[in-house]
Amino acid sequence: MKGLYDNEMKLEFLSKSSNEAFARITVAAFVSQLDPTIEEISDIKTAVSEAVTNCIIHAYEDTDGIVKIVTRLIGNTVEIEISDSGKGIENIELARRPLYTTKANLERSGMGFTIMESFMDEVEISSVVGIGTKIIMKKKIKKIENTTDIKEECCSKTIV
């Protein structure tokens, strides 16, 4: 029987800041099978980087914990679930606001959720204080219809 998802991958790693690049690059590599544009890929990398960084600095506050990522490809849509079992968010509505940060002393800009929301089509946040936080983000990868895009791609490939 065919599964519910067209494709799926799972990733678990320690909440070390050196894993931020690893996480976004790995998700981007998995998503690349949908043929996203450069812009779509960099939007996804940025959103993943924001969510993973939040697990590391806010959820676990630099103690060791596990960050989990599940990425699903459903048709043309990418669904990325990023979760932690850290301290949780007290007020989600407040946390979503642009410029809101509880770590201004660390030069955080409070723009993480704003970036996730504007770079992805949908962002769902669920959190329980003392239990953890889960972010589900979705983005539809658009099929290239613009012929100039296709031409550019084919030409650059011929040159190489």
Partner 1 sequence: MNSEYKSLDKLLILKITEEIDHHTTEKIRRKMDNEITRYMPRKVLFDFNEVSFMDSAGIGLIIGRYKVAKLFGGEVEIANARPSVKKVLEMSGITRIIKINDGIRIAN
Ligand X SMILES: Nc1ncnc2c1ncn2[C@@H]1O[C@H](COP(=O)(O)OP(=O)(O)O)[C@@H](O)[C@H]1O
Site of interaction with partner 1 (CB under 8 A): 17-18, 20-21, 24, 38-39, 42-43, 45-46, 49-50, 53, 56-57, 106-109, 111-112, 114-115, 118
Nearer to Mg ion, 72 or 84 (CB): 84
Nearer to partner 1, 20 or 79 (CB): 20
Nearer to ligand X, 39 or 107 (CB): 107
> Which one, of 52, 53, 48, 76, lies nearest residue 137 by Cα?
48
DSSP tag of 123: E
Torsion of CA 52, 14, 21, 142, to 10 degrees: -50
DSSP tag of 58: I
Partner whose binding site includes residue 102, from partner 1, Mg ion, ligand X, none (CB under 5 to 8 Å by kind):
ligand X
> Which one, of 82, 78, 116, 79, lies nearest residue 96 by Cα?
116
Partner whose binding site includes residue 12, from Mg ion, partner 1, ligand X, none (CB under 5 to 8 Å by kind):
none
The answer to whether the CB of 133 falls within 8 A of the CB of 125 is yes
Binding site for Mg ion (CB under 5 A): 54, 112
Which residues does the annotation mark as catalytic? 50, 54, 108
